[in-house]
Amino acid sequence: MHKTITIDGQEVPFEAGQTIMDAAISADIYIPHLCHNPDYQPHGSCKLCTVKVNGRNCSACTFPAMEGQDIQNHSADLEQDRLRITQMLFVEGNHFCPSCEKTGNCQLQAVAYYLKMHDNHFPHFFANREMDASHPEILIDHNRCIFCNLCVRASQEKDNKNVFAISGRGINKRLIINSKSGQLKDSDIDINDCAAHICPTGAILIKGTGYQVPIGQRIYDQQKIDEVSLAEESKDHG
Amino acid sequence: MADKLKLATTSLAGCFGCHMSLLDIDERMLELAKHVEFDRSPITDIEHCNPCDIGLIEGGVCNSENVHVLREFRKNCKILVAVGACAINGGLPALRNHIPLEDCLNESYRDGIGIENAQIPSDPELPLLLDKVYPIHEIVKVDYYLPGCPPSGDVFWTFLSDIIAGREPSLPYELIHFD
Ligand code: SF4
Ligand code: FES
């Protein structure tokens, strides 16, 4: 017999070793997330997946499911926390959607739409971040990095390389590239690597592919991120 | 019929794209005119804001004049609305924010390609540039935000219809866009 947890009043079965996020995805329940991708080890850094487990805040993507947990996911309080977290991500980097090739297909933007974010609420950092256009096929725009660590994990776990790392702390945190010059062109990244395609924002882009889909037909023009995310993630892991 | 609502609009460090988009409500402008009277706005050429119900601000704050205009609007408008990406987060003009102002001026007026008679503009009539381009909520309190670059005619229409009807404004998913 399956063990169960309860998410917003709904009984959800889980198997030993599953996280709350895993169990939710298997049951077609969307918990907002950015740094989590079921193909990779959980990282637990963005905190967007914060849920209340028996009254305490926990990250659903890292917290193990355990018999009898009573979990709140879509409460007004939690959605408000998630909105503020998303706004913090926006003011920490430089996210100028109208000039970004990822616009319409960006998970950060889509989560913001999902949370009905109209403004950035906080004062902007206008951080000074660089662009690395050195590689002939792959562009890095550090202005848009949210430090989700997915490219780091993709490179290590799937590509068996070690192209990326996050270095520094707090406001000095940055994505670094494993090459002598520190530039992408001197790393061993390849355009077919998972790491080149995993970025949820427009921080890692394939050159020459921008703006190919007209406005109105892009991923999140058509569907909200909860539908897109469940369709992709429960198909592979349900 | 009840008195018309007074509406003022302005463009600070914007491109007037949001104002063009307001005009995209097309024939609904006639319906709007039944409920709303334009005060200070590029549409009326009224130069200073009188007490108003709604103030729509396009563009971020890049110079001293923008600060004065924005404060005049805040003082006179019961509801102040940040319209479009530039008012909300500085927008593309804010791409200059990580470049020192002196370097911006030198590049534009002294060292850039094809510049003749190079000089940094210094006429006392010109408003002084700020060190950065600021989102308007960093200068005054803002009541509502209409995202988009620009927000579509439907965004303006939905928002203004809600206000006219005395409802709490709300945008459906399809109308929330940052681009
Ligand atoms: S570059 Fe993209 S995938 Fe890598 S840490 Fe930054 S946001 Fe995440
Ligand atoms: S999705 Fe769980 S912390 Fe980012």
Same domain, A61 and A147: no
Which residues of chain A, if any, have pLDDT below 50? 238
pLDDT tens across A131-148, in order? 999 999 999 999 999 999
**Alpha carbon B128 to chain centroid, angstroms:** 19
pLDDT of residue B19: 97
Test B138 with A123 for CB contact under 8 angstroms: yes
Q: Rounded to two decimals, what is the model's pTM?
A: 0.96
Whether B61 contacts chain A with CB within 8 A: no
- Does any CB of chain B come closer than 8 Å to the CB of residue A127? yes
- The total of structural domains in chain A comes to 2
The minimal CB distance from B176 to the residues A116, A124, A129 is found for A116
Chain A's closest residue to B178, CA to CA, is A97
Tell me which amino acid residue B168 is: E
Question: Hey, whose CA ends up nearest to atom 4 of ligand 1?
Answer: A151
Q: Does residue A88 lie within any of the structural domains?
A: no
What pLDDT score does A2 carry?
A: 77
Mark whether A62 and A132 lie in a shared domain: no
Which range of residues forms the domain containing residue A194? 96-223
Does B91 sit within 8 Å of A118, measured CB to CB?
no
Q: Between chain A and chain B, how many beta carbons pairs sit less than 8 Å apart?
A: 68
**A58/A69 Cα distance (integer angstroms):** 12
Average pLDDT over residues B58-82: 98
For B92-106, how does the pLDDT look when each residue is reduced to its tens digit (9 = 90+)? 999 999 999 999 999
Asked whether the beta carbons of residue A103 and residue B179 sit closer than 8 angstroms, the reply is yes
3-state helix, strand, coil in chain A (%, to 5): 30, 15, 55
CATH number at residue A34: 3.10.20.740
Look at residue A237 in the predicted model and tell me its pLDDT. 52
Pair A189, A106 in one domain? yes
Pocket of ligand 2 (CB under 6 A): A 33-36, 44-49, 59, 61
Same domain? For A127 and A178 the reply is yes
ipTM of the complex: 0.94
Question: What's the pLDDT at A238?
Answer: 45
What is the pLDDT confidence band of residue B166, given thresholds at 50, 70 and 90? very high
Residues A113 and A192 both lie in one domain: yes
Chain A residue with Cα closest to B143: A119
Q: Name which of A119, A131, A143, A226 to mutate to probe chain B: the one with the most chain B Cβ atoms within 10 A of its Cβ.
A: A119
Contact A119 B90 (CB under 8 A): no
Residue A169 lies in a domain: yes
The domain B5-96+131-171 belongs to what CATH superfamily?
A: NADH:ubiquinone oxidoreductase-like, 20kDa subunit (3.40.50.700)
